Amino acid sequence: MSLPAILICHHDPSYLALLSDYIRERDFAVSGTMEPTQVLLMLNTRSFQLCLFDAHLTANQAFELTASLRVHYPHLPVLMLTAAPSREEQVAAFRAGVADYIPVPTDMELLLARMKALIRLLEPDKEDSMPTVFKLGATRFDGTKHLLGNQTLSVRESDLLLLLCRYKNKTVLRSHILRSIWAKDDVFASRSLSVYINRLRHHLSNTSTVQILPVRGKGYMLIDKS
């Protein structure tokens, strides 16, 4: 069985080596580069399960690189390393397609847990017999293929919508969503959830019978009136 492959892009050669060694010692295949221009070339030569980027590559290259990945590799999760991102930086990052942040200085155990959580989103449990295809109004949603009608969703968008669909017309607790999709329940993850809920509402805007409603103090409910 092949090891899950991680691609790291970081400006600091010492930190790049430290990260690579730590992750490699924990049964991952690791490729690293200091040059953002090399990332797409490396992705074209082999398959990776996750990318780990330094948020402070020069001239906003981290966000530009992530946006490019969303075009060519829409389901590949990107984990960003950054120190105390501002609200503006968070919004720009999630719009570009970042799946999650890890604060710097890096808690290596936390980093490993987040990586594994994101990779699990790409590998549905083969024993899971729950449905993955739903009709939302007149629109077909396929949670395995990440397709909502003719729209391709990101992995996290798809997994969030799939969870809401499985509890259609019922309240899904915010804490349950965060632990299931983000593998954590904190303020940062909660803000991220709000961003993704708004993305899904936008994707569903042409499906007039379907709404994602907040349930005050509890969580969210996907309602289908068709």
Q: What share of the chain is helix, strand, coil (3-state, %, to 5)?
A: 45, 25, 35
The DSSP secondary structure of 82-113, one letter per residue, reads ESS--HHHHHHHHHHT--EEEESS--HHHHHH
* Overall average pLDDT of the 97-108 stretch: 83
> Where along the chain do the CATH 3.40.50.2300 domains lie?
5-121
> Where along the chain do the CATH 1.10.10.10 domains lie?
133-224
Q: What is the pLDDT of residues 60-75, one digit of tens each?
A: 678 888 888 877 787 7
Beta-bridge partners for 222: 212
Supply φ then ψ for residue 86, to 5 degrees: -70, 165
Q: What is the pLDDT of residues 190-214, one digit of tens each?
A: 899 999 999 999 999 988 899 999 9
Q: What is the pTM of this model?
A: 0.55
- Confidence band, pLDDT 50/70/90 cuts, at residue 31: very high
How far is CA 121 from each of CA 38, 49, 163, 193, 226, rounded to the nearest angstrom?
26, 10, 12, 15, 29
Q: What fold does the segment set 133-224 form as a domain?
A: Arc Repressor Mutant, subunit A (1.10.10)
- Confidence band, pLDDT 50/70/90 cuts, at residue 21: very high
Q: What fold does the segment set 5-121 form as a domain?
A: Rossmann fold (3.40.50)
* Residue 138 DSSP class: T
